[in-house]
Amino acid sequence: MELNQLSSQIIKAAINVHKELGPGLLESVYQSCMVIELRNMDKKVQSEVPLPIFYQGQKVHEEGFRLDLLVDNMIIVELKSVEKVQDVHKKQLLTYLRLSKKPLGLLINFNEAMLKDGITRIINSNIISGIPARHSYRSGEAGGSVNSSDSDLSGERAREFSHKDQM
């Protein structure tokens, strides 16, 4: 399945969960419900996937991080239930994408009155550069500004955060 189609289905699942439960619950509750919703859509979903850390080809930590959800072994879904998504949350997901060599991630904050305001779509530009920029949220220079433009994705607004190595 194509990445944009799969990400739209994941967003639809999140919308279904949010419509039924609303904002204000613990992240772990939303995570359990997302697993149910995605499996009902016949998606392969893994929860709390360990992500080992390698440095110069050597494993330095068996479980450096845990991915909230991995859908169809392609898209990482990082769930939040926070007052406001911070840049550190976006950087966290981008790091997960790089370390796992996955092309696309969704950062979903369920603590929003309108879930569309809590969805951020992040691409790993080290893996793919051809994802259409329908939903643009691109990083500026290190510590610089961020430009955004929102568009419709499966009836909801999403933002995309793209990062190019600045080393």
52-59: average pLDDT:
91
More confidently predicted of 163 and 147: 163
Q: How do residues 92-146 score in pLDDT, each as one tens digit?
A: 999 999 999 999 999 999 999 999 999 999 999 888 765 544 443 333 223 222 2
| CA pair distance 17, 37, nearest whole angstrom | 7
Mean pLDDT for 60-81 is: 95
Q: What percent of the chain has pLDDT over 90?
A: 69
Whether the model pTM is above 0.85: no
Residue 127 has a pLDDT of: 81
Total domains, the chain: 1
Sequential DSSP letters for 52-81: EEEETTEEEEEEEEEEEEEETTTEEEEEE-
- Cα–Cα nearest to 119, from 76, 67, 163, 157: 157
Q: How far apart are CA 19 and CA 131, in angstroms?
A: 29
Cβ(40)–Cβ(30) below 8 Å? no
Q: What is the pLDDT of residues 7-23, one digit of tens each?
A: 999 999 999 999 999 99
Q: What domain range includes position 38?
A: 3-163
